[in-house]
A and B are shown apart, each in its own frame.
Chain A
Amino acid sequence: DIQMTQSPSSLSASVGDRVTITCRASQSIASYLNWYQHKPGKAPKLLIYAASSLQSGAPSRFSGSGSGTDFTLTISSLQPEDFATYYCQQSFSTPRTFGQGTKVEIK
């Protein structure tokens, strides 16, 4: 199985901050990397697919980059509705695997 490791596990930030979350794969996954936002009690939402493509309806302040083993999710200006847990997920091979999540909290 491909292991996905996110960092940090949690972070505290203020509204308006630029936030960066990283995801590292245990082997190369080309650009088969997706990012999801998850709020408690809600359905997870797809934000970024294929490493850098913004999902329709996702705010443009979200962006993704990277290829191979190292990937980044960036929120350019954190908004109140962005406080949530973010997961990366690889779709390079089966079984599909997720990172352990990064919880973004209010400072």
Chain B
Amino acid sequence: QVQLQESGPGLVKPSQTLSLTCTVSGVSISSGGYFWSWIRQHPGKGLEWIGCIYYSGNTYYNPSLRSRVTISVDTSKSQLSLKLSSVTAADTAVYYCARGERGYDVFDIWGQGTMVTVSS
């Protein structure tokens, strides 16, 4: 059974870097059939795609966040990570990691999400 679990600080100060980890179980994170994404949901709003990483190491980011985002994978720990620098209150959101299935380019498995609040 494939499971994704996000973890990280629930509170980050403005101007600091938000760092989250997604632990993947039940599937190899280095499988070529999948890619790995971060998606967020601002309070009371819809879903926003942050970016993704493929097994090749290629990354793709939302242009609106590209200058501040880094997504990486640690295959030895089976973990996906997200770093978002210079955060503001506008980055307060629930952050989800998701597995992408390459054949139909669809997010087929999601984590439950972790709430991150940006506040001093």
Q: Which A residues lie at the B interface, using CB under 8 A?
A: 1, 32, 34, 36, 41-46, 49-50, 53, 55, 87, 89, 91, 94-101
Contact = CB atoms under 8 A, between A and B. Distances in A.
A50 to B, nearest CB: 5
B60 A50 contact: no
Nearest to A50: B104
A34 B63 contact: no
Contacts, number: 55
Contacts of A42: 112
24 contacts: A1-B63, A32-B105, A34-B107, A43-B109, A43-B113, A44-B96, A45-B110, A46-B107, A49-B104, A49-B108, A50-B106, A53-B104, A87-B47, A91-B104, A91-B105, A94-B60, A95-B62, A96-B49, A97-B49, A98-B47, A98-B49, A99-B46, A100-B46, A101-B47
Interface string B42-72: 0001111100000000001011100000000
A43 B111 contact: yes
A96 B63 CA distance: 11
Chain B contact-residue range equals 20 to 34
A99 B64 CA distance: 17
Contacts of B113: 43
Given A43-B96, A43-B111, A43-B112, A34 B106 contact: yes
B46 A98 contact: yes
Contact of A49 (B45, B48, B63, B106): B106
Nearest to A56: B108
Contacts of A43: 4, 96, 109-113
Contacts of B45: 100
A36 to B, nearest CB: 7
Contacts of A101: 46-47
Across the A-B interface, give the 6 residue pairs with the lowest CB-CB distance, nearest first: A91-B105, A43-B110, A98-B47, A96-B49, A95-B62, A49-B106
Contacts of A94: 60
